[in-house]
Amino acid sequence: MRILIVGGGKVAEELLYFIDPKKHQVYVVEKNPERRQDLMSRFDVYVIGKDATDISLYTSDIKLDQIDMVIALTSNDEVNLLVLAIAKIYNVPYRIARVTNRKVAELIRSLELGIPVSQPTIIASAIKNYIDATVNALRLATVTLTSPRPGSSGKVNRNYHLYLITLSENDVVCGAKIGKLELPEDTRILLVFDGEGFKPPNPDEELKPGYQLVVLSSLENIEEYFKG
């Protein structure tokens, strides 16, 4: 994909660590000369030294009709909205913007300019999930799965629950390796969140306080197996 990132701050920097330059061609717009030099020295990206509000950026420096994704990451909500609006005019198929104002996020959605990613909302939601899933497992969803009926050719439907569990220092699984946990047969850890990102469970990884687990189980009360 050809990706245009407008704004080369810390969020853009973190994003660039995850983008594979062998799979994607990335352009970054950053007006600060020192910041531009820093990005070019550490990442395999093409950095353009212009202000995001300079219209010539979109008419001369970049051929927007050849860009697959625009990501607006400046610190100004209105500028990010402008970037998405211009990208929509040029029919860029994927458009994402960082926003801090809920009303700006609503405007972006209502005008169908792209996807607003609200930092305050995401942070608050993450903290709320930590709080809600600390004492009791937080049930996120319930799905019905069909499996063969034991001893016959028929099938049986069973409800499975998707849980979010926040680990604390006093929980029985803290300090244990994932591969050594004695969990019920129909209970699986799907993802582990270590504070930075979700990742598949590694059997050799030791569970630590503050970790969050996404667990799939048919059990109604899953807490006793993780918290004791």
Measure Cα distances from 11 to 15, 130, 148, 197, 214 in Å: 6, 23, 48, 14, 26
Q: Concatenate the DSSP letters of all residues of 67-84 into one string.
A: -SEEEE--S-HHHHHHHH
Angle between helices 77-89 and 102-110 (to 10 degrees): 10
Q: Which CATH class is domain 2-121?
A: alpha beta
Q: Under CATH, which number does the domain 129-226 receive?
A: 3.30.70.1450
Short-list 81, 118, 98, 96, CA closest to 3: 96
The pLDDT value given to residue 200: 94
pLDDT digits (tens, 9 = 90+) for 92-103: 999 999 999 999
Neighbours of 220 (CB within 10 A): 8
Hey, which bits of the chain come out as E strands? 2-6, 25-29, 46-48, 69-72, 94-99, 115-118, 138-148, 155-166, 187-193, 198-199, 212-217
Q: What percentage of the chain reaches a pLDDT higher than 70?
A: 96
pLDDT digits (tens, 9 = 90+) for 108-121: 999 999 999 988 88
* CATH 3.40.50.720 domain span(s) along the chain: 2-121
Tokens matching residue 17: 């660590």
Helices (H), 56-154: 56, 77-89, 102-110, 119-135
pLDDT digits (tens, 9 = 90+) for 36-53: 999 999 999 999 999 999
10 Å CB burial of residue 123 (0-12, 13-18, 19+) is exposed
Unique residue bearing structure tokens 């001893």: 151
The residues pairing with 4 across neighbouring beta strands, listed in sequence order, are 27, 70
φ/ψ (deg, to 5) at 200:
-65, 150
Average pLDDT, the chain: 91
213 compared with 129, residue with greater pLDDT: 213
* CATH 3.30.70.1450 domain span(s) along the chain: 129-226
